[in-house]
Amino acid sequence: MITRPLDLASRLRPAPASFDAFYFINAGLLVLFFILFGSRFVLAPGLGVGLPGGFALPVMPGAKAGAAAANVVISVPRPGVALVDEGMISFARLNGWLKVQAQARKAPALLIRADRTVPMQDIADLAAMAKAAGFVYVQLAFDEPPAAGGP
């Protein structure tokens, strides 16, 4: 009696019979959430833009003035490899991918974002491959040089 002076145990409601259905509904909603809102880019290869030693476009004055809209973009972080929407693919597989992309669009235009360390021969091969695949317009991405006195 001394250990239970308020007799709280007698005033509690009885425990519900079972909550098993709520457990499965909760688990199902979590799975549905991750399926609907999960990203295929989580732990996928990416470009380290702006990082020391990361991906860096070549610099050219007037690059923004000559910019044009493109409906297909590929990134080339190193020679022989391209990053596309489906992930990282080799140049050997890139030819087939470019043909599929060119056929899927009305006026296909390609933007090649190549790192400044990629040889110009690889970029020229990519441009020729894109033209042969049916791309109407192929453009190479450049950055503007930093403004004088700027960061």
User: Exposed/middle/buried for 91, CB within 10 Å: 0-12, 13-18, 19+?
Assistant: middle
Q: Which residues pair with 78 in a beta bridge?
A: 81
- Give the containing element (helix H, strand E) for 90: strand 87-90
Question: Rounded to whole angstroms, how far apart are CA atoms 60 and 109?
Answer: 21
Two tokens, residue 129: 């491959």
pLDDT in tens, the chain (151 residues): 556 777 777 778 877 666 677 888 888 988 887 777 766 555 455 555 555 566 666 667 766 666 677 888 898 888 888 888 888 888 889 889 999 999 988 888 888 888 888 888 988 899 999 999 999 888 888 777 777 655 5
Set out the domains of the chain in order of their start, with CATH numbers.
Answer: 46-151 (3.30.420.270)
